[in-house]
Structure 1
């Protein structure tokens, strides 16, 4: 029996319910000890929740900043919305079209634009800062969404892309209940604070202050 899990639960039954395959990385990290593996599994769930909260803050900050700059870019070109003329391809274009269809299928009042922006995934915004959109989107518009980043806008783009890619990756693992116990979560927190700070210094300070990730990492159980 496990005091950590509660005296009424059989650890072996819990292990079977989770399945040996799902527990494999935890047992490996715990040197085969089932009790320690289940404690690590519990901690991984708490860490995943902390990751999701942290990334949620950064996602809203970055997508709003990017949307604002794309809207200004479209206005300078005499266009009512960036949705209709943004030069996307592949997955990004498919994601935008999917968001359009989903919002059109449900009542959205007068905030069609805002609903579409909210419907687009964090991965969509990460794609927009990719190298292939350097001249079409980053130089004329999106670099301005991160005014406190690197002075060289090409270096700024690279660093923004790296940080967003890391955050999308860890968010996806956390959201799908995958192991993140072996990942450098403090590096992910630094990425979150950094990219938010590049949008707005106060926003970065807010993420740093509100994220529970650092305290969760400090409570990681030791290996068995």
Structure 2
């Protein structure tokens, strides 16, 4: 059983100016601008930004797993039909950057060849950015029309429109996830729009999945609790 160290400082006793000194005024600049200019109010908004960032990471992790598994299933089905016996990692007409991403993921998943390759382990090593670019227009005729569009069966009926809408939301989600992951300000973003983008993606994979994401994420609560200037 863990114990609380005797040297824990009084949790209610802290100096706002001292906290600001270590966060730095540069990082807090937008928080000062968007509040009354006091250190305490800037910190209050900064603390909200941290909690909102955690909710963004929670949300994007939910949707990333859903989207990548749906795309993976679509590409497996495509490869089994058009390239029997081959992994889509090898068969898909990917550009050099994507091929490099897959090679790196395979090395990480196999510990540089010291372990047998497990397909699911490679998938988990591919970044959200990889999947984002996989649905871009560069792959419209090579992958989207013959394969990838089936990952989003509940999207727009027109396949070009579906591709554009999926790509837009994947780009949006990647952007906000990266900002949250790097402790950047997101308090000026339309996080409600980001939330809708995430739910759209999940719903286009499956309405049930979309309903699950909508009901289980904490970002909506964070948005509602944002400090007012």
Same fold by TM-score, threshold 0.5 exceeded? yes
Corresponding residue number in structure 2 for 1:147: 153
- CA positional deviation for 1:31: 3.9
Report whether the alignment pairs 1:71 with 2:76. Answer: yes
* Distance in 2 between residues matched to 1:165 and 1:6, nearest whole Å: 40
TM-score, normalised relative to structure 1:
0.93
CA distance in 1, matches of 2:114, 2:76: 20
- In the TM superposition, structure 1's runs of 4+ consecutive aligned residues that sit over 3 Å from their partners are 106-111
CA-CA distance at 1:80 after TM superposition: 2.4
Give the SS at the match of 2:186: coil
Q: Which of these residues, 118, 133, 138, is aligned with residue 132 of structure 1?
A: 138
1-structure distance, mates of 2:183, 2:30: 13
1:8 counterpart SS class = coil
2:44 equivalent to 1:12: no
* 8 Å CA contact retained: 2:110, 2:117: no
Alignment match, 2:27:
22
User: Is there any run of 5+ residues in structure 2 with no aligned partner, and where?
Assistant: 1-9
Task: From the superposition, tell whether residues 109 and 90 of structure 1 become closer, same or farther in structure 2 (CA, over 3 Å).
Answer: closer
> Runs of 5+ in structure 1 lacking a partner?
none
SS at match of 1:98: helix
Preserved CA contact (<8 Å) 1:108 1:115: no
- Determine the C-alpha separation between the residues in 2 that align with 1:210 and 1:138: 30
How far the C-alpha of 1:60 sits from its partner, in A, is 0.6
SS state of the match for residue 149, structure 1? coil
Contact 1:148–1:200 (8 Å) recurs in 2:
yes
Task: State the number of aligned residues.
Answer: 219
Task: Write out per-residue CA displacement over residues 156-208 of structure 1, whole angstroms, 9 at most, x where no aligned residue.
Answer: 00000000110000001101111000000000000010110000010000000
Deviation per CA, 1:62-119, whole angstroms, max 9, x where unpaired? 0000000000000001242101121111432221111011112168976610000000
RMSD value, Cα:
1.7
Match of 1:83 in 2: 89
Shift of 1:148: 0.2
In the superposition, the TM-score normalised over structure 2's length comes to 0.91
